[in-house]
Amino acid sequence: MDANFDIRYTDRPITPFGGLTTVKNFYQNSGLKDVLTSLPLPQPGSNRGYDPVDLIEGFLISVILGARRLAHAGLLRHDKVVSEMFGWSKGMASESTFSRFFKKFDVELNDEVFIALNKWWFSKLNVKHHTVDIDSTVITRYGNQDGVEVGYNPRKPGRGSHHPLIAFAAEAKMVIQSWMRTGDSVSSTDIKDFLSVLLKTIEKSTIGLIRADSGFFSETTLKVLEKNQLKYIIAAKMYAGLVQEIFEADEWVSYSNGIDMCSIECRLSGWNRSRRVVVVRKSKVDHPKSGGKSLFPEYDEFSNYIYSAFVTNLDLSDELIWEVYRHRAEAETQIRELKESYGLDGFCCEDFGATEAAFRWVCTAYNLMSLYKIALINTKHSPTLATLKFQCIAIASYLVRHSRKTTLVMSVNDRRRAFFEELFQRIDNITPKSRFLLKKKFLMN
């Protein structure tokens, strides 16, 4: 039987996002708000303008709640509870206000701001060594914005795009540094300058290993890594010289069912020295869906295999080199979550500097929630943003004022109340001097 309800209205400010108070408290207690205040952010042109920190906070919260373009920030403009929660005296800014603000950024200011900001993120982690995964991704665009060019675009061939570059800390699942680039860039474009910025962001001594796919397989990349005495594993492209070396290899060692490995020392064309390359071949019969490249179709002895190769300066066994590299696939997962949950492929502005600023602030929202998870929730099986929103953020709430005191009333049952009480207790124990270990236990069940 259908239920019929009378309709009534209320002026009481109500929000579906009462759990944002955990994010707000963590953001303030961690010291991030103080860091934003210290950054050289563009200032308003008049006394009536928005405080730049309020604008950044509004943008970060919009991204966390699902915004994919500046116009979506309007979904919070009428949420008085969230505005009061964060203390935004002017409320949430409009699309045009955000657009004017980001237009004040250029690539030089972006680097100045985000080197300082990202350096702070990693000062909060009590981690001895990071595994750094460098990757690029294609963001398709549908306009003539600055930097949109036709280049490599596997999903939309011939369509204009941007081709950003991102470095992840694998263990912490955080963005170390990110750059927006024009669509006609290839993976290794600007890699020397990008690595320079990366080394200004985190100490060289904290980088245990750098991993990258075959798009970064170049003498330029290898020389920069070696000059800085960094350890690396990079997937190799099957150039003719390497294919010949693989063909002549005769010291294959069986690793498991249908998988063989060998190491070869080779000096490919354009290399200034010889380097170790670990080659993995897999039987097409035993591993029909495995990735790799088919070589030597004219030779029966070799045609039944698919091949992968990795150049490295690590002194580890072939098996360990392959096992360690395989975890680089987590970078693809992080990029997918950035696009699907944080709108990384949105927020395109007319000016390139503005687009890059929005892109890098999206990565900041991602890092905020990653640090939130490390400090409060988990490290072993990191929940996605969608799970966090369901568990911690999407809580119907309203404000009650009594005796000069404002109280946020959250609609949660007894079991969830215990969860939130513990969460708030953990947040209360955090100070700007707190550092966080990668833990192995969930708070959420």
Q: What is the pLDDT of residue 162?
A: 96
pTM above 0.85, yes or no: yes
Question: What is the mean pLDDT of the segment spanning 246-266?
Answer: 91
On average, the pLDDT of the chain sits at 92
- Map tokens 């039944």 to a residue: 304
The residue ranges of every structural domain in the chain are 14-105+350-428, 107-234+329-342, 240-316
Question: What is the mean pLDDT of the segment spanning 184-208?
Answer: 94
- Give 192-243 as a DSSP string: HHHHHHHHHHS-GGGEEEEEE-GGG-SHHHHHHHHHTT--EEEEPP--HHHH
Of the pLDDT bands very low, low, confident and very high (cuts 50, 70, 90), residue 439 is low
Q: What is the pLDDT of residue 29?
A: 97
Of the pLDDT bands very low, low, confident and very high (cuts 50, 70, 90), residue 48 is confident
Choice between 266 and 439, residue whose per-residue pLDDT is larger: 266
Determine what percent of the chain is predicted with pLDDT higher than 70: 97
Q: What is the pLDDT of residue 380?
A: 62
Level-2 CATH architecture, domain 107-234+329-342: Alpha-Beta Complex (3.90)
Chain centre distance of CA 145: 23
296 Rama class: left (phi>0) / alpha (psi -120 to 50) / beta: left
- Give 97-147 as a DSSP string: HHHHHHTT--HHHHHHHHHHHHHHHHHTB--S-EEEEEEE--EE-SS--TT
Choice between 10 and 148, residue whose per-residue pLDDT is larger: 148
Token readout for 130 is 């990071």
Among 177-191, 207-221, 245-259, 372-386, which is the least confidently predicted range?
372-386
Condensed to tens digits (0 to 9), the pLDDT of residues 327-378 reads: 998 899 999 999 999 999 999 999 999 999 999 999 999 999 999 999 998 5
- Whether pLDDT at 249 is above 60: yes
For the packed helices 52-64 and 20-29, what is the interaxial angle rounded to 10 degrees?
140
Among 95-104, 164-173, 375-384, 412-421, which is the least confidently predicted range?
375-384
Q: What is the pLDDT of residue 377?
A: 86
Condensed to tens digits (0 to 9), the pLDDT of residues 114-143 reads: 999 999 999 999 999 999 999 999 999 999
Q: What is the pLDDT of residue 442?
A: 38
Condensed to tens digits (0 to 9), the pLDDT of residues 292-341 reads: 888 877 776 778 899 999 999 999 999 999 999 999 988 999 999 999 99
Q: What is the pLDDT of residue 289?
A: 81
Condensed to tens digits (0 to 9), the pLDDT of residues 61-98 reads: 999 999 999 888 767 888 999 999 999 989 999 999 99
Question: What is the mean pLDDT of the segment spanning 386-414?
Answer: 92
Chain centre distance of CA 324: 20
